[in-house]
Amino acid sequence: MVQIEYDGKLFEGEIMMFLVSNTNSVGGFEKLAPNASLQDGMFDFIIVKKLSFPEFLHVASLALRGEHINHPKVMYVHANRIKVQVKGDMQLNLDGEYGGVLPAEFVNMYQHFQMLTPKDRKQRK
């Protein structure tokens, strides 16, 4: 059982997994968060509700084409702040690395730092 607060909304229920992303490319898959933008100050947040194994295979095949976001057991929302709490222990995976255990809070710090392109650097000189 998980409790997830995101931008004033609440989800409670059983899930298979959740994904917090800021870009469309996640783990080598280019369409997991198909509407993601680095420019909007929002996370693309995906909750996959508890699925049977055949349902999971179907959703995974849809994800390859970016069509999983329309599945009734997949929630796809934009949020600036996400807080995840669970009953019991659940490990967190951060880009393939151990990220501690839940609970966790994710805050999108929009424009917290500035990325400079080579063109930007030349103009500043």
Domain range for residue 63? 2-124
Give catalytic residue positions.
Answer: 97
Q: Tell me the CATH number at 75.
A: 2.60.200.40
Is residue 122 scored above 70 in pLDDT? Answer: no
Exposed/middle/buried for residue 79 (C-beta within 10 Å: 0-12, 13-18, 19+): buried
pLDDT of residue 118 exceeding 90, the answer is no
Q: Give the number of domains in the chain.
A: 1
pLDDT tens digits for range 62-96: 998 889 999 999 999 999 999 999 988 889 998 88
Over residues 17-45, the pLDDT tens digits come to: 999 998 887 877 888 888 888 888 899 99
- Cα 3 to Cα 108: distance, rounded to the nearest angstrom: 19
